[in-house]
Structure 1
Amino acid sequence: MKEITAAELKERLERGEKLNIIDVREDEEVAFGMIPGAKHIKMGDIPNRLNEFNKEETYIFICRAGVRSEHVCRYLEEQGYDVCNVVDGMLAWDGELV
């Protein structure tokens, strides 16, 4: 599984890269802020929302500390999706929040 740190993700966004970032935290966690441009899909909702993913694109998953997003990445990788986990999660994010 591919991995990226929050700092590396921030650098890529600052360079203007178009990224598919999926935040898998719960509603109450997201209420404190999300990375600009990220899409919120709770971890438990992923299996029922596979139709929103394209196997030709790469998706970067983030949660609070990197554990839930790792589980989501493993699941989606088994389904044939191209995924990348933010290993240190939102705890390490020091960029803008919306």
Structure 2
Amino acid sequence: MTNILEISADELQKSLDNNTDVTIIDVREDEEVAQGVIPTAKHIPLGNIPEAVGNLDPDKEYVMVCRSGRRSMNASEYLKGNGFEHVKNLEGGMLAWNGELVF
């Protein structure tokens, strides 16, 4: 198991408020995303991560998100194992997110 840093929902909200250059990737399924996503988040379902990794910049910072944090941790570990050094997992996932949602 790789060592993945976690970011709290409050820390992520502060990053968004400060316009920090971070890419949020939501790995939930389509029906879950229909209930709302964090603003600016890109939707890449977990099963599509292996094929999408070639379109991602390994030098950028990523925060992976799912419902509770487990699937996004798997996605984080996959990215880290493929040379992505700046990957964090949203601790508690969308269940911990109290910020704005877009539909």
Tell me the TM-score normalized by structure 2.
0.90
RMSD after superposition: 0.9
SS in 2 for 1:85: strand
Instruction: Determine the C-alpha separation between the residues in 1 that align with 2:62 and 2:18.
Output: 18
User: Are 2:93 and 1:89 equivalent residues in the alignment?
Assistant: yes
User: Are 2:81 and 1:78 equivalent residues in the alignment?
Assistant: yes
Unpaired runs of 5+ in structure 1?
Answer: none
User: Are 2:42 and 1:43 equivalent residues in the alignment?
Assistant: no
Structure 1 residue 16: Cα displacement: 2.0
Instruction: Determine the C-alpha separation between the residues in 2 that align with 1:62 and 1:71.
Output: 10
Q: Count residues with an aligned counterpart.
A: 98
Structure 1 residue 11: Cα displacement: 1.4
Partner of 1:69: 72
Structure 1 residue 21: Cα displacement: 0.4
Unpaired runs of 5+ in structure 2?
Answer: none
Partner of 2:32: 29
Aligned letter for 1:85?
N
Identity %: 48
- Dislocated runs of 4+, deviation >4 Å: none
User: Are 2:9 and 1:12 equivalent residues in the alignment?
Assistant: no
Tell me the TM-score normalized by structure 1.
0.95
User: Are 2:62 and 1:59 equivalent residues in the alignment?
Assistant: yes
CA contact (8 A) 2:26 2:41 kept: yes
